Amino acid sequence: MNQGWTERQRPVRLERRLEFADYEATRDFLDRAASLSERVGIYPDMSFGRTYVNITLHAEDDATALGEPLRHFAREIDALLATEKTLDE
Amino acid sequence: MNQGWTERQRPVRLERRLEFADYEATRDFLDRAASLSERVGIYPDMSFGRTYVNITLHAEDDATALGEPLRHFAREIDALLATEKTLDE
């Protein structure tokens, strides 16, 4: 996974903040992330404004560790970003 | 404005939470809200998951009251929702 991801406890989750050059790039990323969610059936909590997106991947309700499906989803987000204009690389 | 909007202070802002039947309805709303943002040049802070969207409209940096552009934007969101499947009406 990209080192931009932060693993946190209580509750167990993965977080990443992304910055974009403009709203068009932000919206393009959100569209592609939405298609990914529909394809794999994982729906992160996302917050965004004009040029930022925060992604939070929560582990299953009483899980004590992040399962492979979430780690895989994080890597798929990284792959989306590899072809995107972000400001944080 | 729909009574679902809550006006808050420190900082001055308008907030509204929406619930949707499924991700398809959530995504459709987010797409239309994004087009509205691009049309009027107002970009609220939004957070969402599979079936909810929280909208926060912040007043200009040192404003002490919500200006008409934000109230107008809130009414435009209400108009989008009037044609949407939401669960909170």
Q: Is the confidence at residue B86, as pLDDT, over 90?
A: no
For residues B34-48, average pLDDT: 97
Percent of chain B surpassing pLDDT 90: 78
Closest to A59 (Cα-Cα) out of A76, A79, A38, A42: A42
What topology does CATH give the domain B6-82? Gyrase A; domain 2 (3.30.1360)
Check B23 against A46: CB less than 8 A apart.
no
Say how far residue B31 (Cα) sits from the centre of its chain.
Answer: 12
Is the Cβ pair A47, B47 closer than 8 Å?
yes
Interface residue ranges in chain B relative to chain A, Cβ cutoff 8 Å? 23, 27, 30-31, 34, 37-38, 43-50
In the prediction, which pLDDT does A64 show? 83
Stretch B48-74: mean pLDDT? 92
The whole-chain average pLDDT of chain A stands at 92
Can you tell me the ipTM of this complex? 0.89
- B17: part of which helix (H) or strand (E)? strand B13-19
